[in-house]
């Protein structure tokens, strides 16, 4: 698997052990509230003071002679959706934006499974498996192989259509993590609002290549739009660079402002940083700030 | 606008073009980019994709240096509105152009023929005809010139080359200078292209005189760089003197009986000359001589004072006539041969005055204030007279003794700025064709009416009184400013200059980022 180093799974496990104890927030800020409040049987444990008497399993208590309570989980609250933008604009940069997004999706999915959630990864645009599910840790390798097969490509469906199709309002509410560069700003904002309207809790992880933050350009250039194929001639100089930086900042401010208005967590990730470390910092921050 | 050195300019323009071509920047580098949404306003037109990589300072320096070089070397001239296009023919109309060759053709007609031949090979355009030495424009023709009209306009006049010619009036003109001798006043920076030059030797009669005994002396001079055989002949070419070989710079006096000279004198020579005699005279005029005035004249003294090297002296204190109009005598050269002193007639002609009209006849003549009234040898002095408005004829000027008159310059006092050149040679014809008057005190005075040089020239046209094998030299004079084709003939040169200078400026303006983009 070209996108995943051999130690990837091991690092995820280590991260899971350190940062995903019971009660910790899932990636995306979704609190783990399911155990004890759901309908799905999990296991038994001895009754302790303070337990809800309604949770006592009287049959087990009669068989074992001591009071035992049933542990259940809330099934609908333990689903995580991940959307990976595999459009052509993501196939850029060193390290590659799509590679970084897929590694992030894999890590998030594995961490979610370790915390008891079921994960569904949806590809937006590009080629390869349209959807990859992960219910148990044992499926981790197959899950990573499915993600590794995703390739970027230009043609794609509109963002809103893809999101509505993958996460309809009839489904149980879940956290949906969007890994994208969100250059089609209006479409993505519309998609975020659509997810919110459906009762889901979107999280935006915006992926940038370092070249997009500080373009290493100089002189006379002909830039080709990765998705539309449109060509633009320009001379890259200080004035061009200043305008670029200014517009990029405006773009990010717009996204941040919109996400704050809808209470959507927003995280910017630059691909020259280690994905797992970035994820670790995110988990630390979300735990410290419930 | 015209350019002095268009080819230098072309080289100047070509050089930076080559440098700019070599300095072109590489084509734009094509590369994929995730999104162009941040750069829409900074897009440049595709047609400038392969523009020149010239920093603004480089453009300014280049344009400035090119402009400086153009001004310094190519020298754009901005006087097109004043200067006519085409060529200017500067035609010598001094008196020497009226002289004849052995075939009987006057020099100026030969010159005009050759000029028209040369102009026929010129591209069609406007031809401005100017006369030398006054440089005045007498005609402007397009295409084929009317020869008859030009003959009327370019007839030689009683003019000599002045010491200074206003060459500056020819600035920017392409000049074809038609003359029989190199003018001494040509500025040093004027390039002369000789289209035809004869030999370097000239021979001519410089003086003639006869006494009452019927003996005539004809002084011949040879100038130049080669000896010449000369002899005198009549109109038919019959020689009545022996052949004499004269070394350059030498003189010879033919002494003949006046009866032999009743026919017009013709000087024959065995070669060609290139230097007109009057030019030689002009160049070798002797130093100052004194002019003795018969009567006091403030105006005349003033005129004489304007001529360098002249001293004036009153002939007599008892003059009771105030000359208000008169003539100025100008001694050209001091000849080595002197006429013998004694009474007699210095008759400028091949015929002696024999039928002398009386005073009454003389007084009936039309007033001719500029005419030579008398040439009288009296104590080796030559007297001139002027006829006053009341009919009286009065002596005016006496030429100093011990000089041999070889030329007379007459001036109208009203227009004394232009000296009329009257070689004495032409005066010889007066005795042939005109009546001679003898006034008491001024015996045997030949008289010419019509006055002045013009009449003498007219006589020269009709009578072969001079002969020297003279070729006409056509000289094309191009001043430095006129040495190049006119700018109007090379509009592409000017267009190239303007485009070259405007191009970098426009590029500089386009390269500046738009304010709205930032």
Closest partner CB to A222 (pick from B29, B41, B517): B29
Q: Do B74 and B1 touch, CB atoms closer than 8 A?
A: no
Interface probe, candidates A182, A185, A233, chain B, greatest B C-beta count within 10 A:
A233
Interchain proximity B28–A221, CB inside 8 Å: yes
Coil, helix or strand at residue B170: helix
Closest-CA residue to B112 (of B146, B62, B76, B63): B146
B425, HSE (Cβ side, Cα atoms, 13 Å)? 30
Closest partner CB to B39 (pick from A89, A90, A234): A234
The DSSP secondary structure of B365-421, one letter per residue, reads SPP-TTS----EESSS-EEEEEE-TTS-EEEEEEEPSS----EEEE--GGGTTSPEE
pLDDT recorded at residue B385: 43
Q: In chain B, what residues touch A232 (CB-CB under 8 Å)?
A: 36, 39-40, 43
Closest partner CB to A233 (pick from B33, B43, B517): B43
Q: What is the DSSP letter of A151?
A: B
Q: Do B106 and B97 touch, CB atoms closer than 8 A?
A: yes
pLDDT recorded at residue B96: 62
pLDDT recorded at residue B366: 32
Q: Do B371 and B448 touch, CB atoms closer than 8 A?
A: yes
- B515 interfacial to chain A (CB closer than 8 Å): no
pLDDT recorded at residue A222: 84
- A224 interfacial to chain B (CB closer than 8 Å): yes
The pLDDT-based confidence of A4 (bands split at 50, 70, 90) is very high
Closest partner CB to A232 (pick from B36, B48, B518): B36
Interchain proximity B37–A247, CB inside 8 Å: yes
- A239 interfacial to chain B (CB closer than 8 Å): yes
- A226 interfacial to chain B (CB closer than 8 Å): yes
The per-residue pLDDT for range A66-75, each reduced to its tens digit, is: 888 887 765 5
Alpha carbon distance B385, B329 (integer Å): 11
pLDDT recorded at residue A149: 93
Alpha carbon distance B425, B206 (integer Å): 7
Q: How far is CA A6 from CA A2, A113, A144, A288, B246, in A?
A: 10, 20, 11, 31, 124
Residue A262 has pLDDT above 70, yes or no: yes
Alpha carbon distance B154, B98 (integer Å): 11
Interface probe, candidates B28, B29, B32, B34, chain A, greatest A C-beta count within 10 A:
B34
pLDDT recorded at residue B164: 60
pLDDT recorded at residue B268: 72
Residues ≥6 apart with Cβ < 8 Å to B393: B362, B363, B373, B385, B386, B387, B439, B442
The per-residue pLDDT for range A86-99, each reduced to its tens digit, is: 999 999 999 999 99
Per-residue pLDDT tens, chain B, 518 aa: give them: 556 666 666 777 777 777 777 666 667 778 888 888 777 554 444 444 455 556 667 777 777 777 777 676 666 665 544 444 577 888 877 666 766 565 667 778 888 888 888 777 766 678 889 887 778 888 888 777 788 888 888 877 655 555 566 777 776 677 777 776 555 455 554 444 433 333 445 566 555 454 545 666 666 667 666 787 888 776 566 777 888 998 877 778 787 776 666 555 566 777 544 333 333 333 333 333 344 444 344 434 444 444 434 445 554 443 333 332 222 232 222 233 333 333 333 333 222 222 333 444 434 433 222 233 333 333 323 334 444 445 444 433 333 332 223 223 332 222 222 222 233 323 332 322 222 222 222 222 222 222 233 333 433 333 322 222 222 333 333 333 333 344 444 555 566 566 666 665 665 555 544 443 33
- Packing angle between helix A8-19 and helix A97-114, nearest 10 degrees? 50
Alpha carbon distance B221, B229 (integer Å): 11
Alpha carbon distance B2, A216 (integer Å): 52
Q: Which chain B residues in 43-72 lie under 8 Å from chain A, judged by CB atoms?
A: 43-46, 48-49
| Minimal C-alpha gap between B23 and chain A (Å) | 15
Q: In chain B, what residues touch A225 (CB-CB under 8 Å)?
A: 32-33, 35-36
Q: In chain B, what residues touch A92 (CB-CB under 8 Å)?
A: 32-34
- Give the residue on A whose Cα is nearest the Cα of B50: A220
Q: In chain B, what residues touch A235 (CB-CB under 8 Å)?
A: 44, 511
Interchain proximity A244–B30, CB inside 8 Å: no
Interchain proximity B33–A235, CB inside 8 Å: no
Q: Which of A239-243, A268-272, B277-281 has the highest mean predicted lDDT (pLDDT)?
A: A268-272
- Length of chain B measured in residues: 518
Q: In chain B, what residues touch A243 (CB-CB under 8 Å)?
A: 38-39, 41-42, 517-518
The DSSP bridge pattern shows strands A219-225 and B29-33 to be parallel
Interchain proximity B37–A183, CB inside 8 Å: yes
Q: Which chain A residues in 55-114 lie under 8 Å from chain B, judged by CB atoms?
A: 89-90, 92-93, 97
Q: Which chain B residues in 483-512 lie under 8 Å from chain A, judged by CB atoms?
A: 511
Interchain proximity A243–B32, CB inside 8 Å: no
- Give the residue on B whose Cα is nearest the Cα of A249: B38
Token pair for residue B376?
Answer: 């009288």
pLDDT recorded at residue A51: 80
Alpha carbon distance A81, A122 (integer Å): 7
**Taking residues A172-191, what's their average pLDDT?**
87
Coil, helix or strand at residue B239: strand
Q: In chain A, what residues touch B44 (CB-CB under 8 Å)?
A: 233-235
pLDDT recorded at residue B67: 75
pLDDT recorded at residue A270: 94
CB atoms within 10 A of CB A218: 12
The pLDDT-based confidence of A210 (bands split at 50, 70, 90) is very high
| Minimal C-alpha gap between A50 and chain B (Å) | 57
Alpha carbon distance A16, A106 (integer Å): 13
B360 vs A41, higher pLDDT: A41
pLDDT recorded at residue A145: 92
Alpha carbon distance B354, B349 (integer Å): 12
In b/e form, how buried is each residue of B434-452, taking b as 16+ CB within 10 angstroms?
bbbbbbeebbbbbbbeebb
Alpha carbon distance B314, B329 (integer Å): 14
A198 vs B360, higher pLDDT: A198
The pLDDT-based confidence of A243 (bands split at 50, 70, 90) is confident
pLDDT recorded at residue B168: 73
Interchain proximity A221–B34, CB inside 8 Å: no
- Give the residue on B whose Cα is nearest the Cα of A96: B34
Q: Do B29 and B49 touch, CB atoms closer than 8 A?
A: no
pLDDT recorded at residue B418: 24
pLDDT recorded at residue B120: 78
Residue A207 has pLDDT above 90, yes or no: yes
The per-residue pLDDT for range A114-141, each reduced to its tens digit, is: 888 889 999 998 888 888 889 888 899 9
Interchain proximity A225–B39, CB inside 8 Å: no
Interchain proximity A222–B30, CB inside 8 Å: yes
ipTM value: 0.76
- B103 interfacial to chain A (CB closer than 8 Å): no
Interchain proximity B513–A239, CB inside 8 Å: yes
**Taking residues A149-178, what's their average pLDDT?**
84
Interchain proximity A235–B43, CB inside 8 Å: no
Alpha carbon distance A47, A66 (integer Å): 8
Q: In chain B, what residues touch A97 (CB-CB under 8 Å)?
A: 34
**Taking residues A172-185, what's their average pLDDT?**
87
Q: Do B224 and B250 touch, CB atoms closer than 8 A?
A: no
In b/e form, how buried is each residue of B196-222, taking b as 16+ CB within 10 angstroms?
eebbebbbbbbbbbbbbeeebbbbbbb
């Amino acid at each position: 698997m070209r996108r995943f180093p051999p130690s990837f799974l091991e690092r995820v496990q280590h991260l899971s052990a350190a940062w995903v104890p019971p009660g910790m927030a899932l990636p995306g800020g979704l609190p783990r509230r399911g155990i004890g409040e759901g309908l799905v049987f999990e296991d038994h444990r001895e009754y302790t003071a303070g337990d809800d008497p309604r949770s006592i399993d009287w049959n087990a208590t009669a068989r074992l002679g001591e009071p035992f309570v049933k542990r259940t989980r809330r099934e609908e609250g333990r689903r995580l959706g991940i959307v990976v933008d595999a459009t052509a604009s993501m196939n850029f940069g060193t390290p590659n934006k799509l590679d970084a997004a897929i590694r992030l999706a894999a890590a998030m999915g594995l961490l979610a499974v370790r915390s008891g959630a079921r994960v569904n990864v949806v590809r937006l645009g590009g080629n390869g498996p349209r959807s990859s599910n992960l219910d148990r840790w044992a499926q981790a390798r197959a899950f990573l192989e499915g993600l590794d097969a995703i390739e970027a490509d230009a043609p794609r469906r509109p963002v809103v259509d893809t999101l509505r199709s993958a996460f309809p309002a009839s489904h149980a509410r879940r956290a949906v993590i969007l890994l994208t560069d969100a250059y089609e700003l209006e479409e993505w904002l519309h998609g975020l609002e659509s997810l919110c309207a459906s009762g889901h809790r979107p999280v935006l992880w915006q992926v940038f290549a370092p070249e997009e933050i500080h373009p290493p350009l100089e002189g006379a250039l002909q830039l080709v739009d990765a998705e539309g194929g449109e060509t633009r001639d320009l001379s890259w100089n200080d004035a061009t660079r200043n305008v670029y930086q200014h517009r990029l900042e405006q773009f990010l401010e717009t996204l941040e402002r919109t996400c704050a208005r809808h209470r959507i967590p927003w995280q910017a990730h630059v691909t020259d940083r280690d994905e797992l470390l970035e994820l670790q910092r995110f988990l630390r921050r979300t735990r410290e700030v419930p | 606008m015209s350019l002095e050195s268009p080819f230098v300019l072309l080289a100047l323009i070509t050089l930076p073009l080559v440098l700019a071509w070599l300095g072109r920047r590489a084509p734009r580098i094509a590369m994929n980019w995730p999104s162009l949404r941040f750069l829409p306003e900074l897009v440049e037109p595709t047609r400038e994709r392969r523009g020149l990589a010239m920093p603004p300072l480089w453009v300014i320096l280049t344009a400035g240096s090119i402009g400086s070089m153009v001004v310094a070397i190519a020298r754009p001239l901005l006087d097109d509105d004043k200067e006519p296009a085409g060529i200017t023919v500067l035609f010598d109309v001094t008196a020497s152009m009226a002289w004849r060759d052995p075939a009987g053709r006057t020099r100026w007609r030969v010159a005009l023929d050759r000029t028209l031949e040369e102009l026929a090979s010129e591209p069609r355009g406007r031809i401005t005809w100017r006369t030398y030495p006054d440089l005045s424009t007498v005609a402007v023709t397009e295409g084929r010139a009317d020869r008859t009209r030009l003959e009327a306009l370019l007839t030689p006049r009683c003019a000599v080359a002045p010491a200074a010619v206003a060459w500056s009036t020819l600035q920017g003109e392409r000049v074809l200078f038609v003359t029989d001798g190199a003018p001494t006043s040509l500025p040093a920076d004027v390039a002369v292209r000789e289209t035809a030059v004869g030999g370097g030797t000239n021979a001519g009669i410089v003086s003639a005189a006869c006494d009452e005994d019927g003996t005539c002396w004809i002084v011949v001079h040879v100038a130049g760089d080669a000896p010449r055989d000369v002899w005198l002949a009549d109109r038919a070419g019959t020689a009545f003197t022996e052949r004499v070989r004269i070394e350059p710079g030498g003189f010879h006096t033919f002494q003949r009986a006046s009866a032999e000279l009743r026919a017009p004198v013709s000087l024959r020579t065995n070669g060609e000359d290139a230097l007109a005699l009057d030019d030689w005279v002009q160049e070798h005029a002797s130093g100052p001589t004194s002019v003795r005035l018969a009567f006091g004249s403030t105006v005349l003294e003033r005129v004489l004072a304007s001529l360098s090297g002249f001293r004036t002296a009153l002939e007599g204190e008892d003059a009771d006539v105030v000359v208000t109009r008169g003539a100025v005598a100008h001694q050209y050269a001091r000849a080595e041969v002197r006429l013998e002193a004694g009474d007699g007639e210095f008759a400028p002609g091949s015929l002696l005055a024999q039928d002398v009209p009386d005073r009454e006849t003389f007084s009936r003549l039309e007033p001719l204030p500029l005419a030579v009234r008398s040439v009288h040898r009296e104590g080796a002095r030559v007297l001139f007279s002027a006829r006053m408005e009341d009919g009286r004829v009065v002596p005016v000027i006496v030429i100093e003794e011990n000089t041999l008159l070889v030329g007379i310059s007459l001036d109208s006092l009203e227009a004394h700025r232009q000296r009329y050149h009257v070689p004495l040679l032409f005066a010889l014809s007066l005795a042939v064709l005109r009546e001679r008057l003898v006034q008491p005190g001024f015996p045997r005075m030949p008289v010419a009416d019509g006055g002045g040089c013009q009449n003498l020239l007219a006589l020269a046209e009709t009578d072969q009184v001079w002969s020297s094998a003279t070729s006409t030299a056509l000289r094309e004079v191009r001043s430095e400013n006129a040495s190049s084709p006119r700018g109007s003939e090379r509009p592409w040169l000017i267009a190239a200059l303007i485009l070259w200078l405007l191009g970098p400026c426009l590029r500089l303006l386009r390269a500046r980022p738009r304010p709205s983009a930032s």
